Amino acid sequence: MADFTQYFQNNVNGVMQHYKQPATDYLLTLGESLNLVEEPQMQLHLPIKFDVPFPPPETYDFTFIDLFAGIGGFRIPMQEIKGKCVFTSEFNIHAQKTYEINFGEIPFGDITKLDLNIVPKHDILTAGFPCQPFSISGKMKGFEDTRGTLIYNVFQIIEMRKPKVVFLENVKHLVHHDKGNTLRTIVKDLELLGYKVSWKVLNASDFGVAQNRERIVIIGHQSALFDFTKLKTKPKPILKDILDKGVAFEFLNEPFTLIEEPKVQDSGLIFIGYRNKTIRKAGVRLGTEHLSRVHKQPNRIYSTDGLHPALPSQETSGRFWIYDQGQVRKLTINECYKIMGFPEKFIRINSKSELYRQIGNSVCVPMITEISKEIKAQLL
């Protein structure tokens, strides 16, 4: 089915021929039972007008592929600057369904089980490769975790198709994992593949969203280094400016404590209180309850006059606690999508817990948008 949707998505360029045979074979398997048209008649319906929020651009300036695509956080910015997606891969079936309803395309599945020869040539490779093997919120297994080797499937595609630009995103902790050896290995392998590599840790809050979300961005090009200093940043917003009004909220119904004279942290977070739960034991001195680090993250309460902490990819029961108009509550799912910069027209499906998981695993759209614009300006 992924071949079939890619065939229609790429009918105006040579990439269509790349998917023609598998799409035709798929059509023939359904033809008799569903009375579908054959491939020559199918072409009469091209080009298709996609009735989705984010259709492919009618004309394009470059092509890209979307690996570990999630719900499309890379694709929205790339299409905005006239990029044409020619291949998509996403393992999670729920994310695949969200992707399909927003972009009119079903992603291919598990990249480790695909014949990578199906990946067409492209100008930019994007990949928000899985976070958990390198994240401090995971089990710290790194490359010993089988998921840690998924980056090597990316390297295989790079070696085969030699895109002009490689655009990778991961958690900040990748910088420090295994004393820096993990990052050095990734950079070294990209250089061996013929790329000049630059990287930097960026914060989504510098690109207009009310979230302290630090991520490492790695960019490789065949002949030039990407200049991160040319990225245009914005003043940090505050959380209360984007909050929903008049909807059902999840309030805290248990005792909590507000601290006196809360301070704005360098990150833009304002730790304002905590649930009256057991605090950390190791290395904690008496009289330090006003410090956020002595409280476990699920027990911390943050002021809406600052930023929200990074939305986690693993928590499914809601977000962190915020102090809003004299009450403590969690963000709504709509607010979560706002602080990740997703457009209002983005369609959300699946259960609430799955929606939280999907948005926590996504990239921040405004940050990717600014980087994409500079990639196009500097490297294409």
Please determine, for residue 38, whether its predicted confidence score (pLDDT) is greater than 60: no
Q: What is the pLDDT of residues 267-320, one digit of tens each?
A: 999 999 999 987 766 656 666 666 766 778 888 999 999 999 999 877 655 578
Please determine, for residue 142, whether its predicted confidence score (pLDDT) is greater than 50: no
Average pLDDT value for residue range 200-208: 98
Pairing of strands 211-212, 308-309: parallel
Looking at the chain, the whole-number percentage of residues with pLDDT higher than 70 is 77
Helix (H, G, I), strand (E, B) or coil at 355: helix
Cα torsion 179, 214, 318, 302 to 10°: value is 110
Q: What is the pLDDT of residue 146?
A: 36
What's the pLDDT band for 144 if we cut at 50, 70, 90? very low
Q: Which CATH number applies to 239-358? A: 3.90.120.10
Please determine, for residue 168, whether its predicted confidence score (pLDDT) is greater than 90: yes
Exactly one of 85, 131, 336, 364 is catalytic; name it: 131
Q: Which sequence spans correspond to the domains of the chain?
A: 1-48, 49-233+364-379, 239-358
| Domain 49-233+364-379 of CATH type 3.30.450.20 | no
Q: What is the pLDDT of residue 306?
A: 97
Rounded to two decimals, what is the model's pTM? 0.86
* Backbone CA torsion sign across 121, 114, 170, 297: positive
Task: Please state, rounded to an integer, the average pLDDT across all residues of the chain.
Answer: 85
What's the pLDDT band for 49 if we cut at 50, 70, 90? low
Q: Is residue 131 flagged as an active site residue?
A: yes
322 backbone dihedrals φ, ψ, rounded to 5°: -125, 150
Please determine, for residue 40, whether its predicted confidence score (pLDDT) is greater than 70: no
Bridge partners of 344? none
Q: What is the pLDDT of residue 103?
A: 97
Q: Is there a shared CATH topology between the 49-233+364-379 domain and the 239-358 domain?
A: no
